[in-house]
Amino acid sequence: MAKILVLGAGGFIGGHLVKRLKRDGHWVRGVDLKLPQYGGTPADDFIVGDLRDPDLCRAAVDTRFDEVYQLAADMGGAGYIFTGANDAEIMHNSATINLNVLDACRRRMVSRVFYASSACIYPQENQTSVETPVCREDTAYPANPDSDYGWEKLFSERLYLAYGRNHGMAVRIARYHNVFGPEGAWDNGREKAPAAVCRKVARAEDGGEVEVWGDGRQSRSFLYIDECLEGTLRLMRSDFGQPVNIGSEEMVSIDQLVAEVAAVAGKRVRIRHVPGPQGVRGRRSDNGLIRSVLGWAPEQPLRTGLEHTYRWIAGLVDQNARDR
């Protein structure tokens, strides 16, 4: 049984990670501004607190944990990170968290730290094609992310790598590509495309209309939460110390995503394209590196994850309608 600290344990990925680590038999402390919104937490200990506060960070890292997973960030979907309206907050909050966390880990001589980076670090000029975007790990530099969220992630990747070099920590960095699943943001302005599309389809009548931001041809690959956790744990316990993509290689356009969700729901829907933030034109995980260093890569079809996620969101939509 390992002693494990999960930062951002009240969030979507962190909440699921705590459940997985508990199922695997570990002792787990979670830290977040809030408890998970859905279904509570099985953590052995949970600190509700602000990781921007260095004293709180030191209190959270009060012993030499075997593993620290750093997932806390000021975070959201396109409606939150691509409008520009939240850039100062995003950069200030997330960078402060990462600076504090690493300092607290160094003081306690924590030897193994995981950092959740993002596909948003890749240069925008490599993602102008909807069919052949390039997101190979060694193309990150010269850097030119399309959002300040991506720039902060890149800065923090370098910060973790520097602490690894200078303070003898084993640092593991994943570049997550669009993770989705039940118990994530779906209706609060921070939701991402899969959850937003599930909600819109669940609320639509059969034959009704669903709005899509942009022309609907922008492409992405989406990773189901279970495979995200599997990749995270495999990477953390590997000996590979450079950033690695954790994502799916199954790329779809947003219009295709709507069609997939509509098929899962058993509804016919019409798509109406409206102006809205879109991010880059195309993005897909390149899994060459993860395959070669871990001998593993995500393989589950998108449809399987959408079935679980649609069922969960449709249940909430029905419940909201009943409560009204």
Report the catalytic residues.
149
Taking the complex as a whole, how short is the minimal distance between the CB of residue 122 and ligand NAD, in angstroms?
A: 12
| 2, 42, 44, 50: residue in contact with ligand NAD (rule CB under 6 A) | 50
| 13, 198, 258, 280: residue in contact with ligand NAD (rule CB under 6 A) | 13
224: part of which helix (H) or strand (E)?
strand 223-224
What DSSP string runs through 132-196? Answer: -----GGG--S---SSHHHHHHHHHHHHHHHHHHHH--EEEEEEE--EE-TTS--SSS---HHHH
- Which span sits near ligand NAD by CB under 6 A: 44-52, 157-165, 205-213, 292-300? 44-52
Query: Beta strand 3-7 with 27-32: parallel, antiparallel or unpaired?
Result: parallel
- Which span sits near ligand NAD by CB under 6 A: 65-73, 80-88, 106-114, 123-131? 65-73
Total of chain residues touching ligand NAD, rule CB under 6 A: 25
- Which span sits near ligand NAD by CB under 6 A: 103-111, 123-131, 171-179, 296-304? 171-179
Backbone dihedral region for residue 40 (phi beyond 0: left; psi -120 to 50: alpha; all else: beta): left
Taking the complex as a whole, how short is the minimal distance between the CB of residue 12 and ligand NAD, in angstroms?
A: 4
What DSSP string runs through 59-101? Answer: HHS-S--SEEEE-------HHHHSSSTTHHHHHHHHHHHHHHH
Q: What is the dihedral of CA 278, 279, 283, 287, to 10 degrees?
A: -130
Taking the complex as a whole, how short is the minimal distance between the CB of residue 15 and ligand NAD, in angstroms?
A: 7
Taking the complex as a whole, how short is the minimal distance between the CB of residue 4 and ligand NAD, in angstroms?
A: 16
Would you say 228 and 104 are in contact if contact means Cβ atoms under 8 Å apart?
no
Spatial distance between the Cα atoms of 222 and 236, rounded to a whole number of angstroms: 21
Residue nearest to ligand NAD (CB): 11
Task: Say whether residue 172 binds ligand NAD (CB under 6 A).
Answer: no
- Which span sits near ligand NAD by CB under 6 A: 11-19, 164-172, 290-298, 306-314? 11-19
Task: Say whether residue 178 binds ligand NAD (CB under 6 A).
Answer: yes
Closest CA to 261 of 313, 220, 219: 313
Q: Residue 55, exposed/middle/buried by CB under 10 A (0-12, 13-18, 19+)?
A: exposed
Closest CA to 150 of 173, 101, 125, 117: 117
Spatial distance between the Cα atoms of 263 and 232, rounded to a whole number of angstroms: 30
| Half-sphere exposure (Cβ direction) of 48: Cα atoms closer than 13 Å | 5
Task: Say whether residue 140 binds ligand NAD (CB under 6 A).
Answer: no
Q: Write out the two tokens for 1.
A: 């049984």
Task: Say whether residue 67 binds ligand NAD (CB under 6 A).
Answer: no
Taking the complex as a whole, how short is the minimal distance between the CB of residue 170 and ligand NAD, in angstroms?
A: 19
| 43, 116, 154, 169: residue in contact with ligand NAD (rule CB under 6 A) | 116
Task: Say whether residue 52 binds ligand NAD (CB under 6 A).
Answer: yes
260: part of which helix (H) or strand (E)?
helix 254-265
Task: Say whether residue 247 binds ligand NAD (CB under 6 A).
Answer: no
Task: Say whether residue 72 binds ligand NAD (CB under 6 A).
Answer: yes
Task: Say whether residue 11 binds ligand NAD (CB under 6 A).
Answer: yes
Task: Say whether residue 101 binds ligand NAD (CB under 6 A).
Answer: no
Task: Say whether residue 196 binds ligand NAD (CB under 6 A).
Answer: no
Interacting residues toward ligand NAD by CB under 6 A: 8, 10-14, 32-34, 50-52, 71-75, 93, 97, 116, 118, 176, 178-179, 192
